[in-house]
Structures are given as structure tokens and as C-alpha cells.
Homo-oligomer: A and B are copies of this chain.
């Protein structure tokens, strides 16, 4: 079972064509300016300059967090996906020039990391907990693989291989013991294995996965060594679970610790389990996935209930206002979900994949392509955010950049890579996993999925095959030619040749409750259209939104509004508002609530915060 890769796919979709264009034409050029410190009043990146310093062509100093190299790698990976879809010689030339810079910063033995080269040359591989060397190496490798696949050029891939070989010579049984504080190398080595066919990269990924949580606490031992200096002094207080190294990975049962680290590790575990067909590891992945999505996931596909440690906490602990739900964690959930689909074929993995993408991931990026969310709360009252230090991590509007800027370039690479998640081929079976208008030619096969509104036309030209169409949760799929299966796919046996199949996919609107143990959502309702979660903003509904009441039987009208375009309808319904009339000067009262009828207007959660600072809320009190 393999995904049809990005390079083969052409997108033609009411929503996603413009979404990709925004990333390609606006976000990526903007980020290039950011990486070169040319955007005013934004947090400084210094990323390119650090490479020049490491290459010896700049006298400047290193600046930025220890993992800042990865911002450039993620940018290169995203640009690669763009180039794989459409040639752009000027952009490719810029990449080639940047790759030369990266090459110039690589050390003679293959080592590549601007922080450790410039700031702490004697400290290489001494601080796995905080150093992010393997993390940056992973993003380098992902970029190298993507650029090679996009352009056929192997200059960056060779840089990666030199570094990967050094890592392979350094770490492993009988060599240096280690595994990264922040997983990412594991994923990347598996991609390198897949592109190179070199089994030792798979083995090395397996080493990092399998060594984790075994025996003595690697990170604690590092911290106790003479000469150890902390990069993130608070990290010493974090337990091994923050790093998912509290137990061997096969014994882990609950999503734990830093949510992005967890998702990257679990994704690599799922890859490795699939490639090695390891039943214990498969079981661990299934347990961790189930725990994540049925106990610790916001209804927006957000992960991580606590700011400190950007982390998972405990089952059903999902505060809407003080939570974290980092954009990168939901990107990680997409990675984990797509790999769990490869592992299990369970279509519900793609329901989660879409729930993450349509909500928290898309929320990460502003409609102008120049502003980003790192934290994605489900409830924002601007006055409280500005005055209550418990909420200091929450931003009420997207930012130009961040001092720790993992999310924006990660958004760019996930959004440009989405074409590569639409189709999968397994012998003579074709899976259509997410209904994004697109087409591809591969071997003798031509597939085109066209859609206009809810009407889809699937054209197949090629040899006899079984087609499996995923039925997304909370939608009606109608197609006379298809057969509905119990496992959530609609199938058709394509007899060969060219044929068009039609179906209709209509997102439904539903009102959701959370599990009774989710204290923060007790007595509350939220609204989804398809897998897009909706929210209210004060721009459409008078504040305070806390006084809105939503009837469980509410019926919603879809409306198109100019600023959101046709692909993102808003939802309107008749609801209620608690009157404040008799509350003057009273904080607590036994008076009966008086309700006023009102219209409640909801927008897709991903689009909040695009119209200036205002209140926002996903969960509404039921009336």
C-alpha cells in the first residue's frame, strides 16, 4: 500500500487550489524574507545568517533557538512539494543556492548543525535531551528526500546521506547510546530508507525507536555529567514522560508528554511497525492512537491540554481556554493518522486526519498568509487573555512570526504535501481517501476527481481495478454505482478502460457533545459541518458569547459570505441569549434566567481571528 506521491498529483479544487496558491505564492516567499530577517516588526529568525556563520562566510553571531536550522529545512521541503507539482526555475535556482549554503555549513565529517558548529563545537552529541541535533538532522533529511523527488537533483540528498552515515557510525548497539529528546530523525531515516533502499537507515530508525525508554534514563545521566549546561533550564524539571522515554515504546499505553514529540515518535513507530510487521509495536501504535483520539483530542483535532511542556496531561482533561493545541501537534496528528491508515486501512484514521487538517491546522495560518497561530484555544475572551497570566500563551490574533517558529514552516510543508495523501494504491486497488479535486497519471492509470459543490465526478482510465472511496464521517455519500461497505468505504469494481463514476458527497451538520468525563464541556454543545468544527466570534454575535444558549435540536442554515468564499459556508440558527437586564451590580443571584431569542452565526473554527481581536467560542451551553 502506497500513497500516490505529491509529484504525480494535480490539484483542481474549489478550496484547495486557492489554499495551495496561498502557500506557494504568499506564505513561502514571505517565509524566505523572514528567514533572511527582512520583515520589519517580526520576531527575528536569523536562520540563513546562522548557516553563513557556520559556513564561515559571515562574522555575525548565532542567534535563535538551538533548533532554528529546521525552519530552513522545512521551508525547503515545502518548496520541493511546490516544485514537484510545477516547475519554477527561479525558485529552483534559489533552492540550489541555499543548498550550497547548507553544504558549506556541513563539517568535514558530515556533521551539520549551525548551533553546535558555531556556539558549542565541543558539545556535539552530549545533550540529546535539549540539543535537537537529531531533530534538525531529521528535517534536513526530509527536505533532501523531498527535493530529490521533486527535482531529481541529489546535491542535498548527498549532504543528508553524509550526515545520516555519520549518525549511523555514531549511534547504535556497540556504539554510542542515544536517542533524540525530540523525535523526528526516526521518520526521516525511514523516508531515506524508502528513497535509497538502504536497509541500514531503517535499522538506525529502529535503533532510536527501540532504545527509547530502555534501561537507565539517558537524559538524566546527561544532565548529571560534569560540564553539562542547560539549553532550556526548565527542562530539567520535566519527567521522562515529557520525552516519551518513561517506558520502552512497546509498553506505552497513553499519549504522554510534549504533544509534537509524541506525534512524531508514534508516527515513526507506525512506519517502523508496518515495515517490520512487528505485532507488539503495531499494538502499541493502536493503543496510543486510540488513547489520543478518544481521550485526549480537542474537537478541533487539537492536542496538548497544558501550556507548560506543551503537553498531553490526562484522559478527558481538555480545558478550552488554557489549553495549548499547538499547530505542530495537529500536523503531527495528521502524520500519525495517515500512517495508522497505512497500517490498518481503517477509514476512521482519515476522519481524524481531516478533523486535524480542517480545524487546528488550517487555523494556524491567516487568510493573508502572513500571520500564524502557534496555540489554538477553543475559547478566547480577549480581556481575560490580556489580564490573566494563566492565559499568557494564548494569542488573540495571529502573529507575523515567533521566536520559536516551528509552526509556520511546518504548516507550509504539510499544506503543500496534502496532494500526496489523497490517493493510495495497493496492487489493483485504488483508495480515494479525501475528496479533494485532483488528478494523476501513473503507469497506465489516469484518475481524475472533479467536483463542483457536492457533485463529484471520478474518471478512471486504466486496467481493471477495485476503487474504494472513503465515506467521511458526518456526511452523506450517494452514488448508485457504488456499493457501501460496513467498514466505511464505498466500492466499485472498475472493469477497465475509461469510465466516469458520479457521486454526491454532502457534509451534514451535527451537534456534538463531549464524553461526560470531559469536565470542561459538561452541559455544552458544539457544531460540526462534515469534519469542520464551527465557532462563534463576536464579529457576528454580540459579546459575551458565554451568554449564548444553543438548543440541542437547533437546525442550521448554510450561508455564503464574501470573506469566506463558497467553499466555507457559515451556519446560522435560532438560539437564545441570557439577558443581563436584571444583573446590574449583582454577581450571584437566585433569579430565574431570562432568555432573549437571537440568531447565532457560526464560522469554521479555522477562520477565527481573521477580523481583528474579538471573543471566540467553540462550546456553547445547551438550552
Contact = CB atoms under 8 A, between A and B. Distances in A.
Interface in A482-539: 510-519, 522-524, 526
Residue among A299, A381, A523, A547 facing the most chain B CB atoms (10 A cut-off): A523
Contacts of A315: 383
Contacts of A549: 523
A565 to B, nearest CB: 27
Interface string A545-569: 1110100100000000000000000
A510 B590 CA distance: 7
A580 B516 contact: yes
Nearest to A619: B522
B511 A590 contact: yes
A314 B512 contact: no
Interface in A124-173: none
A294 interface: yes
B390 A307 contact: yes
A116 B121 CA distance: 45
A589 interface: yes
A593 B517 CA distance: 13
B523 A590 contact: no
B588 A512 contact: yes
Contacts of A514: 587-588
Interface string A312-351: 0111110101100000000000000000000000000000
Contact of A586 (B515, B586, B588): B515
A343 to B, nearest CB: 18
B389 A308 contact: yes
Most chain B CB within 10 A, of A299, A306, A379, is at A306
A526 B549 CA distance: 19
Contacts of A587: 293-295, 297, 299, 514-515, 518
A309 interface: yes
Contact of A388 (B313, B392, B512): B313
A294 B523 contact: no
A420 to B, nearest CB: 28
A387 interface: yes
A299 B517 contact: no
Nearest to A533: B588
A282 interface: no
B524 A546 contact: no
A174 interface: no
Contacts of A612: none
Contact of A306 (B388, B580, B585): B388
A621 B547 contact: no
Given A519-B381, A546-B522, A389 B307 contact: yes
A387 B313 contact: yes
Nearest to A238: B389
Contact of A290 (B293, B547, B585): B585
A578 interface: yes
A216 interface: no
A390 B592 contact: no
Contacts of A518: 546, 587
B387 A516 contact: no
A66 interface: no
B517 A544 contact: yes
A583 B516 contact: yes
A196 interface: no
A591 interface: yes
A622 interface: yes
A305 interface: yes
Contact of A387 (B317, B513, B515): B317
A384 interface: yes
Contacts of A590: 510-513
Nearest to A308: B389
A163 to B, nearest CB: 35
Given A517-B544, A547-B517, A549-B523, A388 B314 contact: yes
Contacts of A293: 587
Contacts of A513: 588-591, 593
A509 to B, nearest CB: 10
Interface of A: 290, 293-295, 297, 299, 305-309, 311, 313-317, 319, 321-322, 379, 381, 383-384, 386-390, 392, 510-519, 522-524, 526, 544-547, 549, 552, 578-580, 583, 585-593, 621-622
